[in-house]
């Protein structure tokens, strides 16, 4: 069989630990035998980030901006313990943070659904994608404890010297105080990323905040979304037969739980943090969550939502076989290849990505799965396998489908 060709390079960002091992196996077993992989390779493994003074992360992010699509392996964000473990020169920043800052994107997370793993919420039939605004609010907040009685004020001094001042509270006792901010430009990028992603996946977009209580802060989010929708997206949404609607977050929660899924739920930073964990747990497993960073100008970065699965890696290093679930990492590849194919008008590549996803789902439906899923599956006799056995079972299904 002739291998599928790729016209434009896909930006490939390699990573760390167990996911780096899976990365290699996925390429060897599921991609290279079928596709003439045309990738521009960046090694974001921690040793190379350290050796290049983290320049490689910046280069990879810029390559993503140049070509439009990348696929990223999970990477270590160093902490004190990693400093010693890897003998690092510096405690390098999170690569995801660096890439997000360059692309100015929004992260969309969606679960991979299986018939044999029932969501905890019985009505959910289709995936719910959480779009989290990954900038500002409490994550960039300034806060302190108030030691005792006194007046707390909110003061803004404009570049021209004009002042806005308002009393927050006259403290009669000790307490706490917090200042948070966001920027119109970032909220607008968030809105455009959400509208673009809804169009590209043909799903309705819901957006919720607490604008009834937060009449300036949250209301600004609501207004910016509404304005951009009216001016730039309304016609495209109508043509695509999809809907944008805004609702109060309390109402959104109630509707989400009663829904059958199949939409994107855009959330402010903190809401998205909490709701994405709730949604992924209710759908089954972190190992089955996919993640894509979408920039407002149409760049895409695909990855698994989970980390480098350190515990399994240490066992792997001791020569033990591990049953790490490669599904989200495989789907990062298929997502990226399909998007590359779509942008290049390369139908064979899109078809291949879809076929590989179908082969993965068939393998799981037959009960062949990694151990993390065995405890969750119902109505199928499970056959626990290690990672490589699982990948080879997928390959057999893939070859049968392609033959
Ligand atoms: P993790 O996602 O690696 O693991 C969390 C838990 O889920 C563990 O119990 C793990 O065994 C389980 N798990 C996760 N993915 C699995 C899979 N595919 N198959 C089976 N079980 C799976 O997160 P962590 O332990 O908090 O972090 C480990 C490392 O990963 C850290 O160095 C962290 O910096 C990094 N990290 C990277 C990313 C990223 O690159 N996007 C995200 C999160 C964590």
Q: What is the ipTM of this complex?
A: 0.99
In a domain, 263, yes or no: yes
325 and 383: one domain? yes
Distance of CA 164 to the CA centre of its chain: 38
Instruction: Please identify, among 225, 257, 283, the residue that sits at the C-terminal boundary of a domain.
Output: 283
CB 229 within 8 A of CB 242: no
- Tell how far the Cα of 51 is from the centroid of ligand 1, in angstroms: 24
Residue 95 in domain: yes
Q: Is the pLDDT of residue 1 over 80?
A: no
Cα–Cα distance for residue pair 90/62, rounded to 1 Å? 22
Which domain CATH number covers 300?
3.40.718.10
| β-pair type (10-14, 39-43) | parallel
Does residue 205 form part of some domain? yes
What is the overall mean pLDDT for the chain? 95
Q: How confident is the model at residue 134 (pLDDT cuts 50, 70, 90)?
A: confident
> Per-residue DSSP letters for 335-395?
HHHHHHHHHHT-HHHHHHHHHHHHHHHHHHHTTEE-HHHHTT--SS--EE--HHHHHHHHH
Residue 379 sits in the same domain as residue 303: yes
On whether both 193 and 260 belong to a single domain, the answer is yes
* Residue having the nearest C-alpha atom to atom 20 of ligand 1: 324
In a domain, 288, yes or no: no
Which is nearest to 72 in space by CA: 82, 53, 55, 57?
A: 57
136-162 pLDDT tens trace: 898 888 999 999 999 999 999 999 999
Query: Are 31 and 129 contained in the same domain?
Result: no
Ligand 1 proximal residues by C-beta, below 6 Å: 74-77, 96, 286-287, 303, 306-311, 324-325, 372
Indicate whether 123 and 206 sit together in one domain.
yes
Average confidence (pLDDT) over 212-234? 98
CA distances to 15, 19, 42, 56, 135 from 99, in Å = 14, 19, 13, 11, 13
Long-range pairs of 225-229 with CB within 8 A, sequence gap ≥ 24: 225/187, 225/191, 225/194, 225/266, 228/188, 228/191, 228/192, 228/195, 229/191, 229/195
Report CA(306)–ligand 1 centroid distance (Å). 5
Q: What is the pLDDT of residue 277?
A: 83
Asked if 120 contacts 78 with a C-beta cutoff of 8 angstroms, the reply is: no
Of 180-194, 210-224, 249-263, 292-306, minimum mean pLDDT range: 292-306
Distance of CA 268 from the midpoint of ligand 1 (Å): 24
Q: How far is the CA of 286 from the centre of ligand 1 (A)?
A: 9
Please tell me the residue having the least CA distance from ligand 1 atom 12.
Answer: 309
Confidence band for 48, pLDDT divided at 50, 70 and 90:
very high
CA of 310 to the centre of ligand 1 (A): 7
Pairing mode, strands 106-111 and 128-132 = antiparallel
| Mean pLDDT confidence for 84-100 | 93
| Alpha carbon 82 to chain centroid, angstroms | 24
Residues 122 and 84 in one domain: no
Q: Does residue 2 lie within any of the structural domains?
A: yes
Count how many domains the chain has.
3
CA of 307 to the centre of ligand 1 (A): 3
Average pLDDT over residues 3-17: 97
Q: 369 φ, ψ to 5°?
A: -155, 165
Let me know if residue 159 belongs to a domain: yes
In a domain, 344, yes or no: yes
What pLDDT score was predicted for residue 141? 87
Range of the structural domain that residue 165 is part of? 142-179
User: What's the pLDDT tens digit per position in 204-220?
Assistant: 999 999 999 999 999 99
The minimum-distance atom of ligand 1 relative to the CA of 306 is: 2
Residue 8 shares a structural domain with residue 157? no
* Structure-token match 């966001």, residue found: 182
Same domain as 351, residue 325: yes
Residue 347 has pLDDT above 90, yes or no: yes
Q: Which of 259, 283, 307 is the last residue of a domain?
A: 283
Pocket test for ligand 1, best of 95, 132, 287, 308 (most atoms within 8 A of CB): 308
Tens digit of pLDDT for each residue in 289-299? 999 998 888 89
The residue from 150, 179, 208 where one domain ends is: 179
Residues 239 and 342 in one domain: no
Nearest CA to ligand 1 atom 1: 307
pLDDT band at residue 187, thresholds of 50, 70 and 90?
A: very high
Looking at the chain, the whole-number percentage of residues with pLDDT higher than 90 is 86
């Amino acid at each position: 069989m002739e291998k599928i060709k790729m016209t434009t390079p896909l930006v490939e960002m390699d990573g760390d630990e167990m996911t780096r091992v899976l990365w290699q196996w996925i390429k060897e077993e599921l991609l290279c035998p079928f596709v003439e992989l045309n990738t521009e390779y960046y090694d974001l493994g921690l040793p190379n980030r350290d050796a290049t003074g983290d320049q490689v992360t910046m280069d990879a992010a810029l390559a993503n901006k140049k070509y439009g699509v990348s696929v990223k392996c999970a990477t270590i964000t160093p902490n004190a313990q990693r400093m010693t473990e890897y003998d690092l020169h510096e405690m390098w920043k999170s690569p995801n943070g660096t890439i997000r800052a360059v692309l100015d994107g929004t992260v969309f997370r969606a679960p991979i659904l299986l018939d044999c793993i029932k969501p905890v919420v019985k009505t959910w039939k289709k995936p719910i994608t959480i779009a989290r605004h990954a900038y500002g609010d409490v994550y960039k907040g300034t806060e302190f404890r108030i030691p005792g009685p006194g007046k707390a004020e909110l003061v803004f001094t404009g570049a021209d010297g004009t002042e806005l001042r308002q009393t927050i509270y006259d403290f009669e006792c000790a307490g706490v105080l917090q200042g948070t901010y966001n920027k119109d430009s970032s909220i607008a990028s968030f809105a455009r990323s959400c509208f673009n992603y809804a169009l590209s996946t043909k799903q309705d977009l819901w957006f919720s905040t607490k604008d009834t209580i937060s009449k300036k802060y949250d209301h600004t989010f609501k207004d910016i979304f509404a304005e951009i929708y009216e001016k730039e997206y309304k016609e495209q949404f109508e043509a695509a037969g999809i809907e944008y609607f805004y609702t109060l977050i309390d109402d959104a929660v109630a509707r989400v739980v009663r829904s059958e899924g199949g939409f994107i739920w855009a959330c402010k930073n903190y809401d998205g943090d909490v709701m994405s964990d709730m949604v992924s747990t209710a759908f089954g497993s972190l190992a089955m969550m996919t993640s894509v960073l979408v920039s407002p100008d149409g760049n895409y970065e695909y990855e698994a939502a989970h980390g480098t699965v350190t515990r399994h890696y240490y066992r792997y290093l001791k020569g033990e076989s591990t049953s790490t679930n490669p599904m989200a990492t495989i789907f990062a590849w298929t997502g990226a290849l399909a998007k590359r194919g779509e942008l290049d008008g390369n139908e064979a590549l899109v078809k291949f990505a879809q076929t590989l996803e179908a082969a993965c789902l068939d393998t799981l439906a037959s009960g062949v799965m990694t151990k993390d899923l065995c405890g969750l599956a119902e109505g199928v006799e499970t056959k626990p396998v290690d990672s490589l056995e699982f990948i080879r079972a997928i390959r057999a299904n893939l070859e049968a489908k392609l033959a």
